[in-house]
């Protein structure tokens, strides 16, 4: 579960993490009022559960309340990553001397939280890790002991801060850890943590993603937020309505499978053969023809898709039902992009006969299917 910046900052402040003075606004007139209350130049920031909002025009600066109202009018109602902007955060514009990164996430290989810091914030930490890995400091958290204050100070020193700043920076690192620990965070970060020219440290941005499996422990927070469907794009909403696990990626091959493990393995197989997945779509167990058809329809709605790979292990899911769904989707939607089908298990032979009758090829191994769909994608590129 992702929180908006304004929601995350409210939590951050409760853990003594200092943020700029700011207020949420849902109308241009309210933005003007908030800017007047702040009494300084402000940043008007789109509240949307997507990254790179600045590049999309979702952050504007205003020197006066009139300008804040105009900026809010431009931002409200725009769509960023296909998500509507229904609120803005109006907050003090900062006079920046230095941008710093602090983040905490889960390293699943180590099965531990990892605290990440860099004195070179303000950009994608992934890009920084590739271009200048020496500028990133990492420290793993002992799951039995938690993260200690002396470790936060050690991180601040390793990040290169002078002695007069170590305790202040360490305070933000430790505060962020306390947030992660208290809210079962999959990811929480401050990017950037700003050192202003007048010597203040402020969390200019805030990100907090809570582990869905732990939401039962945060009922008060959930009840207060009252999430609305508008926070999902149409494809995500449809998938959720049909109880399908759906994640959009940066590639162009839609992977439709049954079971999260098989779907992940399929994404890996596609990558191994030089392709990139556009869609992780897990139909779940026992998918019938209608569910398969709906899954293909949802995957096709994503503009990036150039080919579809259906990979099914038939257990309670019957291969003949899968085949019927594939045929129906192609006939009813007039699918013109390549489709590669691999399915084994219950009623496998009957399913293959249905596909053959419809002139749809099928393969028997995941490796063959992944290699074939990547080849077809390159041919139509």
> 68-74, long-range: CB within 8 Å, 24+ apart, which pairs?
68/31, 68/32, 68/34, 68/35, 68/42, 68/44, 69/28, 69/29, 69/31, 69/32, 69/35, 70/28, 71/31, 71/44, 72/25, 72/27, 72/28, 72/30, 72/31, 72/32, 72/44, 73/28
Selecting among 4, 5, 99, 101, the annotated active-site residue is 101
The rounded distance, in Å, linking the Cα atoms of 90 and 42 is 6
In the prediction, which pLDDT does 231 show?
A: 60
Q: What is the pLDDT of residues 55-70, one digit of tens each?
A: 889 999 999 999 999 9
Q: Is 189 a catalytic residue?
A: yes
In the prediction, which pLDDT does 229 show?
A: 46
Q: Which two tokens stand for residue 82?
A: 């296909």
Q: What is the pLDDT of residues 300-317, one digit of tens each?
A: 999 989 999 999 998 889
The rounded distance, in Å, linking the Cα atoms of 46 and 79 is 10
Q: What is the pLDDT of residues 204-242, one digit of tens each?
A: 999 999 998 898 899 888 877 765 544 667 888 889 888
In the prediction, which pLDDT does 230 show?
A: 47
In the prediction, which pLDDT does 193 show?
A: 96
In the prediction, which pLDDT does 123 show?
A: 64
Residue 122 region, left (φ>0) first, then alpha (ψ -120 to 50), else beta? left
In the prediction, which pLDDT does 227 show?
A: 59
Selecting among 5, 99, 151, 189, the annotated active-site residue is 189
Extract the residue ranges of the chain whose pLDDT is less than 50.
Answer: 229-230
- All structural domains of the chain, each given as residue ranges with its CATH number in brackets, are 21-92 (3.30.1490.20), 96-225 (3.30.470.20), 234-380 (3.40.50.261)
Q: Is 101 a catalytic residue?
A: yes
The dihedrals phi and psi of 14, each to the nearest 5 degrees, come to -70, -15
């Amino acid at each position: 579960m992702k929180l908006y910046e304004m929601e995350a900052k409210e939590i951050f402040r409760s853990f003594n993490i200092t943020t700029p003075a700011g207020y949420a606004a849902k109308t241009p007139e309210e933005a003007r009022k908030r800017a007047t209350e702040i009494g300084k130049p402000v940043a008007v920031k789109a509240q949307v559960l997507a990254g790179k909002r600045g590049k999309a025009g979702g952050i504007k600066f205003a020197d006066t309340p009139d300008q804040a109202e105009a900026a809010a009018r431009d931002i409200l109602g725009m769509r960023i990553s296909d998500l509507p902007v229904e609120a803005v955060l109006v907050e003090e514009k900062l006079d920046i001397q230095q941008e710093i990164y602090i983040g905490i996430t889960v390293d699943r290989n180590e099965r531990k939280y990892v605290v990440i810091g860099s004195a070179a914030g303000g950009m994608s930490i992934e890009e920084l890790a590739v271009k200048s890995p020496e500028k990133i400091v990492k420290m793993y958290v002992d799951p039995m002991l938690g993260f200690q204050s002396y470790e936060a100070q050690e991180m601040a020193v390793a990040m290169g801060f002078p002695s007069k700043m170590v305790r202040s920076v360490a305070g933000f690192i430790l505060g962020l850890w306390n947030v992660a620990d208290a809210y079962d965070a999959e990811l929480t970060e401050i990017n950037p943590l700003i050192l202003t020219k007048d010597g203040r440290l402020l969390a200019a941005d805030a990100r907090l993603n809570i582990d869905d499996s732990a939401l039962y422990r945060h009922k008060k927070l959930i009840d207060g937020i009252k999430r609305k469907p508008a926070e999902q794009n149409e494809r995500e909403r449809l998938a959720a309505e049909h109880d399908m696990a759906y994640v959009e990626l940066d590639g162009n091959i839609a992977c439709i499978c049954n079971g999260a493990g098989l779907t992940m393995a399929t994404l890996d197989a596609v990558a191994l053969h030089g392709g990139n997945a556009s869609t992780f779509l897990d139909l779940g167990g026992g998918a019938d023809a209608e569910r398969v058809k709906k899954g293909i329809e949802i995957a096709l709605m994503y503009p990036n898709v150039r080919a579809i790979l259906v990979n099914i292990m038939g257990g309670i899911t019957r291969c003949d039902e899968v085949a019927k769904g594939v045929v129906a989707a192609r006939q009813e939607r007039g699918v013109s992009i390549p489709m590669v089908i691999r399915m084994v298990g219950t009623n496998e032979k009957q399913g293959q006969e249905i596909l053959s009758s419809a002139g749809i090829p099928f393969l028997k191994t995941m490796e063959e299917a992944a290699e074939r769909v990547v080849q077809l994608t390159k041919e139509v590129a």
